[in-house]
Structure formats: C-alpha cells, structure tokens
Structure 1
Amino acid sequence: MTTNGTYVLGIDYGTESCRVAICDLEGRPLTFAATAYPTAHPHPGWAEQNPEDWWNALQASTHKALANSGVSPASIIGISYDATTLSMVAMDDRGAELRPAIMWMDVRATDQAARSNGSDSVARLYNGGGTAPAIAEWYPFKAAWLKENEPETYARAAHLVDAPDWVTYKLTGEWTTNINSAALRMYYNRDKGGWPVDFYETIGCGDVFPKIPERVVDLGRPVGTLATIPAQLLGLRPGIPVAQGPGDAWAGQIGLGVLDPGSMALITGSSHVLTGQSATEIHGPGFFGAYTDGVVPGQYTVECGQTSTGSVLKWFRDNFAADLVQAAEKVGLNPYTILDERARAIRPGSDGLIVTEYFQGNRTPYSDSRARGIISGLSLMHTPAHMYKAILEAVCYGTALNIRSVEAAGMDVQRLVACGGATKSRDWIQMHADITGVPVTLTEVGDAVVLGTCMLAAVGAGAYASLTEAAGRMVHDIEVIEPDPERHEEYAFYVDRYAEQFQTLQPMLHTVVDHENQQ
C-alpha cells in the first residue's frame, strides 16, 4: 500500500524486542514491526542484554516498517523513542559499549542499595520513594556495583547512561540525559537543586557525575537531528528532528493520554507499571515519587511497579504447560486463550491457592530486592488451571495493593487506562477492574507505548505545541470495563491475605536469599 501524507516514526525498546511504528498525526498506526533479542541471566537475580543486538534489531524493525507501510522516508517529519529504564550502558570516549547492559530487572546491587537505607536524601529530598527503602534496580546502585566489581570497566567508561540516552547518542551523536530517567531513576530533582552529590557519595559513586551527560532534556524537546550514518543504516533521510524520549512505561503513560491528575496508566507486559500525575508533591510509604517534571513540566509523577507479572505467566507456560502450547500451536490457537478458558470456571480465590508473584523481587509497596515468589494453600484438588488463575489473581492483588498505597497518601484514582499484554485477555483485564474496584479504560491503539513515542515525535517536529494537545488528537478511548461490585467484595479478603502472606514470610525469604548469595 502506498500512502501520501505526513507521518512520524516511533521506536520502542522493550524487554524482549525493538518495535517500530509509523503513525499519522491522528495517532493511527500504518504499521508495526518487531525484532526480538535475547536476555542473559548469568547469575540469580542478574539480567543482561547486548546493545549491539538492540542496534541490529532497530535496523531490522525500521526496514520492515518502511516496507510494510509503503511510506516514503521523505514523508516522516519526526522521530522519538523509548527504552527500558534502569538499563545501564557503559560506553567509552568513542561511544563504543564496554560490556553488556545491566538491565532494569537486574538486582545484583542489593548491597549498594542497602547503604542508602535510613538516609534522608533517598527518602525525602530526592524523590526516592517516600519512606520506602531504596532497591537495587536504581541507577546509582548499579553504578556503585560496577565501580566495585568491575573497576577497569568503570574507569574506562566515559559515559554511563540509561538506555534511552544510549538511543539518543546512537541516533544523533548527542549526549543528553532525559528528565524521565533523571527524575524517576537517578534522584535528580529540579525543585531541590538537581543532583544529590552527597547521596551518591554515600552510595560509593560520587565520582560518576562526569560520566552522566550534563544536558537534562524534557520529554518531547528536540535533542538533535538524525545523523547521516544512522539514517543510511535505517533507510531514513538524515536531518529528521529527533525528540527526547523516556523510559518505556512513561511512553505508555503518554500514549494512553494520562497527562492530568485523576487517572493512572496501567502498563502491562513482562512487568506492571502504574503511573500517573499529581498536581502537588506527595510522598508516603509503598510507592515512588512524587517526581518533579518527570513526564509533564510543572507536575509531579507518582509511580508503583510490579517487577515480574507477565514474566511469571510466561514462566508457568514454558515450564508447566508445554504440552498445551504444542497442542495450541498445531491448531493455530493462543495457549493463553486455552488457559483462560480452563481458569474461567474456577471461583475467585482459586480455591484457596494464593501466589505472591515476587519472582524477581518487589518494587512496590515493599521495595525489596530480596523478595521471592510464594505459593501457598496447595492441596491435591488443585490443577494447573488453578495455578494459572492464581498467578493472574496475584498480579491483580499486587496492583490493588499499590493503589491502596497512593490513595492513602491522598491521590484519588478515578480510573485506570490500560495497555500491553494483559489487555489481550478480556478475562484478565476484567479481573484487574474487579479486584482493584477501579474502572479500566481501553484505547484504540493497544500498543500505547510506541504510540507515545509517535506523539513525542509529533511534538518534537512542531506538529503539536504540547503533549496535551497531541493527546487530544492522537489518543482515542474505545471502551470502559467496569468492576463487578460482588466480585470486588469477595476479592478483598484475598488481597488482605496476599499482603499478609509476604509480610509473614519476608524474614525467612531474606535468610534463604542471603544464604544462596554466599554460595
């Protein structure tokens, strides 16, 4: 198909693949293209990816998108992107990567994170998550780990950047720090003077600041133009404006149009992120933020997160439902559809089976990188379908617990706006509404993350004056899923038991994890 008009190109570097979309200025995608790359887990709690795989995947996805859309590169007026945040890349003075990226889910820096606990800086001055302890995923702790465990690499690293800023460099040759990573992941706070040097010194990496690009850029602002060599490799024209992009979840927040207080974006995939805007700076136990200017200048971003959600379902599918997967593939069905059908007849609460899905630690409300998964209530009557449903419910219990945390601090959550893998299952998205008691809105473009990057590209190219204006033209609601009051009341019992289960077993889990880490 050949089209005429004006378009923008969005890039989404997710955990499992690089996706590229070409959209018109009404927010309707012409095409999506994705290219996968692997994740390595060299030790328990570790996760790494090769940035060379990222770059090769972007080239492949861009060429696929251009070929599928029939769009001329000359008609693309803007580019933006997102990437997994907390994915740290060490690069030398020539811009070459020195080691695999330490990924967002990697919790090797537990000891470094523990140094911050009790510090006023982490809890109150620099948006470190209210009164919750810091966790090993955050940037300064990974930087300190690298300095202590790979000192030669740390010394050679002229640049130690988050993955979105790696993308900036690869596309434009410019070194910048995006405000989203800085405010939400690196303890930067414009309201309180910028970088917390004393805090970084406490962690053990006070000398990292020369490695952090000095220029901090708001989302949607131009960071430069597409350089000649990247343009040639991607099949695009050089000189296209490139707009500052965020972490992937906040591209999703933008793509869902959650830019004002009252709503929260629910971005689902390998993990869950719950994020929204507050007009005032709020803090409290059990959530992160409020972060100054992290998405919208002049507002505060509040965040909750569940580290392993869709990834736990994938773990179950791959390890305990291989026969079903093979059977489904033979008849062209999605194995999750069959699992949903089998789980549908099981009553709420999975006949007493309660899973705690903290397989890779807990981000909120406990901020505990030593948390691990729990399965309780097993009996001989339970089936694989019970386990599957209990995992679905566990993820929703975690979302409900997070909403309780932000509401206790004064945030009014009137609706969730959802995107990602969970929205492909009507049963699971209804379960989110039932368990949280909050209506869930679905939008026209289910892949809101990459739509968000297209919106940022449109703003950076000057097609719209602001993200709010872009949202009014490019985001389209299609359905609201209301919670069932009876099921919500029935599930309240299990949300409480889910919370009690982890709190009761937390000390024992720590003992086991510490023992394993010493082996």
Structure 2
Amino acid sequence: MGKLIIAHDLGTTGNKATLFDPEGECLASSFFGYETFYPDALSVEQDPEEYWKAVVLSTRALLEKARVKKEDIGVVSFSGQMMGALPVDERGVPLDRIIIWADRRGVKEVEWVRERIADEEIYRITGHRLSPNYSLAKILWFRNHRPEVYRKARKFLLAKDFVVFRLTGHWATDFSDASGTNLFDITEERWSTKILEAVGIEEEKLPPVFPSFAVVGEVTKNAAEEVGLLPGTPVVIGGGDGACAACGAGVVEEGQAYNYLGSSSWIALASQKPFYDPQMRTFTFHHLAPGLFMPTGTMQAAGGSYQWCRDTLCGEEVKAAEKLGVSPYALMDLEAGKVPAGSEGLLFLPYLLGERAPWWNPHARGVFIGLTPRHTRAHLIRAVLEGVSLNLRIILDAFREQGLRIASMRIIGGGARGDFWAQMLADVFGLEVLRPVYREEATSLGAAICGGVGIGLYRGIGVAKELVKIRDQFAPREEEKSVYDRVYPTFVKSYLALCEVFEELGGGRL
C-alpha cells in the first residue's frame, strides 16, 4: 500500500483535492468549483451531483499534476462544509438539492422545536443553541414542505458523507460533523434519543456515527473507474471543516485558538470539555479525537463581506488586477491602507446573511453607519474589513469573559493570505497573530492527518504539533489597538440599536 494521502475539502465554493506525503508536505492540489443557488432571501442550496463531479475531476487532475500513480495512494480522507441536509434514497441518489449551512429558511421549524424541548436543554446536549442554520431545522423543513421527499429519504446526509457513500457504498458520518446538526449528544458521542423523540425524526434516517479517524470503507470498483484510484483504497471519514481546520492549524491542545477566515469565519479553541456560555453566544463542536471538544463562535459573512465589497464597489481593482496578474484583494488592501484605523468614524455591520455568533439573528442585515461627504470608497473598503474584525472580537471576548486564557491567535483560510488583514486582526484582538505555513491548505492538512491516523501512519492527533509550522507573526500596535478599543463599544451599540429595524426588514413586515 502507498503512503501518500489524498485529502478532499468539500467547501462552500468548490472541492479542493490535496496530496500530502507522510511528513505533512503538500505535494500538489487541484480545485473544482460548483454553483450555489439562492431561491429566495433565506434559502441557499447546492447540487450534490456537482460535489461528486468535483471530486472525480479534482482527483484525476491531482494525480496527473503530481505525476504519481494510483498505487502510491494509501488513503483518501475528507473535510466538508457542515450543517447541511441532503435527502437521498436507498441507493444514495439525491432526492433534492442539499440545503447548506448558510440557509435560514427553517425559522418556523425552530420555533416549533422550541415548544417541545427547551433551548437551554438543546444547548447542553448538543453544545449548540437552536438555529435554522443547523441540520435539524432543515430536515424538519423537508418534512413540512416536501413531505414526499422526506418519506422517500433513506438518509439525510452531510456534504462529505454523500461523497463517501458514492466512493464506498457505506453510510457514515463522524463525531465532528454530526455535532453541527442540533441532533448529536456531544458528550455521549451518539445521536440524541431525547431530541429525536421530541421532534419525531427516526434515527434510521441518520447515518451511523464514527470517530473521525475511522476507516469506513474502501473505494469500490465502479467508483475507482470514475475517480482513477485503485479499488480497495481505504477511505477515512474525516471531519467537519471546522474541526479539520483546527487540526491543520495545530490547535489540538487546551488553550490553543485559531481564526478561520473564509466565506464565513470562526474562532475556535481546543478543550477537554464543552464550553457553555451563559448567554449562549458561542457553541461547542466535537473535535476530531474522541473526548476532545472545540468551543467555537462562527459569523456568517466574513470573507463573504469582502467579496461583496469587491463585486459591488471595486470594479476598478478587479480590472487592474486582471491586467497586473494579481489578486483584486491585494489592491483593495492597498486602497484601504490609505485610511487610518477606525475609518474616520465609519462603521460597517457585516450581517449580509443574518448572523450566528454572537447575535443569533437571521434577520440582521449589512449596514454602513456614519457616512459623511469626506468618506471615500477607500473608507468603505476599510470599514468592511474592520466590521468583520470587530464582530470576531465579540466572539473572542465571549470566551475571554469566562476566564479562558488565549495567548495568541492562529489564522488560516483564504482571508489569511494578506498581511493587511492579519495585522488589523492583531490590533483589534489585542493578541499576537500567528500565520502557519499552510493557510489555505490547513483544513486539507487536518483531513490528511485523519487519514494518516486511520491507516496507522500517525499515532494520533498530536502529530499536528510536529507537522504544523508557523511562518509569520503579527504583534498588536498600541496606537491602532487604542483606536479599536474606543470604536468597539459603539460597534456593539449600533447593532443593538437596529434590532427592531432588522426585524421589520427581514421579518416580512415590509
């Protein structure tokens, strides 16, 4: 058997296939995107067949790019976007599009659940408060609005679990991905009988749950012909993208923390026990290893806000970037750098997709506050980044207020590429920010570690401490930090002052 690891990261915008050697070195990667559909203001869907197509194409492209043989592959492992709901029949054929993490259509379903089991009890069992973003509300939405689909559904799967079934013919999910469903008992490490009975969902409609390191099957002959792998290649279930990212950032011990900067963004820690915030602002996922947890706070539109800014306000930078062969974000950062910290009194509330942590308000909206004639496009660009950063600080402070000590913050994801935002985060957080060598491949590295542990190549999750190397460090600057310390309370007040307006705009009253 070979010793190379293929890690698939089924993200929001596409699938990245990455090839790692046993020393954790990235040998090659290949990416294939897929479309996202927005049927209405609250609904966000994808075509699961595009997941499979992306995995097939990226696997073949990866082997060709790296010039390795299929015999060299020792294991295939997965990371995947979390909190979705995909109904499939007994053959694993999708009965509808998958409702993904950003979807918020299940508001009424959440209220219905709340009448049957207390929010606080759900929080204690699952580590999460009730929210339309989680799989529970989405499964109930299928039952209420597409009863024929619900009746025919053999299983409701998460993104990576659908592809694993196509590869192996076996139903499976893992502790970390299951912990993002509102249906999983994180300390008992099983589906919660109490919640399932309260909401009337049959456990048989959910896949069996395994540790993230489990070999759940082998590549079948038919799948092997499609993806270009050897039949019999072991497949490890892997984990949800958040837990894989934690491992790939080297956050595998108590007190370590990281900030993922992608379409969404989250701050997460490693912990020996769940963290229960008195205000339920944060939540706890299961980590990749049994008995290890990941207290987390996730915001909806982080890099997504900057992407909106690019598409809506920065046409000049996009055109110039094409001519220069650089990222438009690099040019946007240069423009934002012309403006002092605090954007001269301009605030941006980054709630383009509603908000999870810290507000848990599906009706929240994006807002610019404080516009005056002196403000330019550069101010708007900087304010967007500052708004995302200030919202992340609220999440960070929810942990710090309860006595959790965080000495530094590791940053990964596409948003961690540039120095400008990394330095801004250090200033806003008042913490040293560390950037690992593998920023955009960190999630894939975490999935690869799962694969390596699964086939005995590594002894356990602790190998991440050896494989993850830090490349850059950013210390907070006192002058900028003091500016953000003054702006921060006003940022919080701005959201609170607009809550009633958000309800009127997003609650169907206008």
Q: TM-score range by the shorter chain?
A: over 0.9
Residue 19 (structure 2) aligned to one of 19, 22, 26 = 22
Gap regions ≥5 residues in structure 2: none
Residue 134 (structure 2) aligned to one of 130, 138, 156 = 138
1:173 to 2:192 alignment: no
- Paired residues of 1:415 and 1:440 also in contact (CA < 8 A): yes
Partner of residue 42, structure 1: 39
- Paired residues of 2:354 and 2:363 also in contact (CA < 8 A): yes
SS state at 2:358 partner: coil
CA gap 1:5/1:207 in 2 versus in 1, 3 angstroms: closer
**Cα offset for 1:455?**
1.3
Residue 399 (structure 1) aligned to one of 388, 392, 402 = 392
Partner of residue 204, structure 2: 210
2:216 maps to a residue whose letter is V
Q: 1-side partners of 2:355 and 2:108: how far apart?
A: 16
**Cα offset for 1:255?**
0.7
The aligned runs of 1:314-353 (5 Å cut-off) are: 314-353=307-346
**Cα offset for 1:473?**
3.6
2:459 maps to a residue whose letter is A
Gap regions ≥5 residues in structure 1: none
CA gap 1:193/1:403 in 2 versus in 1, 3 angstroms: closer
The aligned runs of 1:20-419 (5 Å cut-off) are: 20-117=17-114, 118-129=118-129, 134-189=130-185, 191=187, 194-202=190-198, 205-213=199-207, 215-284=208-277, 285-291=279-285, 293-419=286-412
**Cα offset for 1:401?**
0.6
CA gap 1:298/1:321 in 2 versus in 1, 3 angstroms: same
- Paired residues of 2:126 and 2:186 also in contact (CA < 8 A): no
The number of residues matched between the two structures is 505
Q: 1-side partners of 2:501 and 2:193: how far apart?
A: 35
SS state at 1:278 partner: coil
Residue 446 (structure 2) aligned to one of 429, 443, 452 = 452
2:272 maps to a residue whose letter is A
CA gap 1:262/1:193 in 2 versus in 1, 3 angstroms: closer
Q: Deviations over 1:319-345 (max 9, x none)?
A: 222233123212323221111111112
Q: 1-side partners of 2:231 and 2:33: how far apart?
A: 26
Partner of residue 465, structure 1: 459
- Paired residues of 2:17 and 2:29 also in contact (CA < 8 A): yes
Q: Deviations over 1:475-494 (max 9, x none)?
A: 22222221113321220121
Q: 1-side partners of 2:426 and 2:81: how far apart?
A: 27
CA gap 1:5/1:479 in 2 versus in 1, 3 angstroms: farther
- Paired residues of 2:343 and 2:382 also in contact (CA < 8 A): yes
Identity value in percent: 26
**Cα offset for 1:410?**
2.7
Q: 2-side partners of 1:478 and 1:320: how far apart?
A: 32
CA gap 1:200/1:489 in 2 versus in 1, 3 angstroms: farther
Q: 1-side partners of 2:468 and 2:189: how far apart?
A: 35
CA gap 1:502/1:76 in 2 versus in 1, 3 angstroms: same
Q: Deviations over 1:244-293 (max 9, x none)?
A: 211112211111110011111211110102111122333112543344x4
Q: 1-side partners of 2:475 and 2:318: how far apart?
A: 32
SS state at 2:68 partner: coil
SS state at 1:67 partner: helix
**Cα offset for 1:176?**
1.5
Q: 2-side partners of 1:494 and 1:7: how far apart?
A: 49
**Cα offset for 1:156?**
0.8
- Paired residues of 1:255 and 1:450 also in contact (CA < 8 A): yes
- Paired residues of 1:140 and 1:200 also in contact (CA < 8 A): no
Q: 2-side partners of 1:414 and 1:116: how far apart?
A: 39
SS state at 1:380 partner: coil
**Cα offset for 1:231?**
1.4
1:207 maps to a residue whose letter is I
- Paired residues of 1:79 and 1:241 also in contact (CA < 8 A): yes
Q: 2-side partners of 1:417 and 1:221: how far apart?
A: 28
Q: 2-side partners of 1:333 and 1:190: how far apart?
A: 44
SS state at 1:273 partner: strand
Which consecutive aligned stretches of 4+ in structure 1 deviate over 6 angstroms post-superposition? none
**Cα offset for 1:125?**
3.2
Q: 1-side partners of 2:22 and 2:467: how far apart?
A: 7
Q: 1-side partners of 2:48 and 2:2: how far apart?
A: 34
**Cα offset for 1:184?**
3.4
CA gap 1:25/1:185 in 2 versus in 1, 3 angstroms: same
Q: Deviations over 1:190-236 (max 9, x none)?
A: 5358433443454xx412422002x2111112111122211111111
Which moves more between the two structures, 20-29 or 507-516? 507-516
Q: 1-side partners of 2:236 and 2:113: how far apart?
A: 34
- Paired residues of 2:84 and 2:100 also in contact (CA < 8 A): yes
- Paired residues of 1:278 and 1:411 also in contact (CA < 8 A): no
TM-score w.r.t. the length of structure 2 is: 0.95
- Paired residues of 2:44 and 2:102 also in contact (CA < 8 A): yes
Q: 2-side partners of 1:193 and 1:328: how far apart?
A: 48
TM-score w.r.t. the length of structure 1 is: 0.93
SS state at 1:267 partner: strand
1:308 maps to a residue whose letter is A
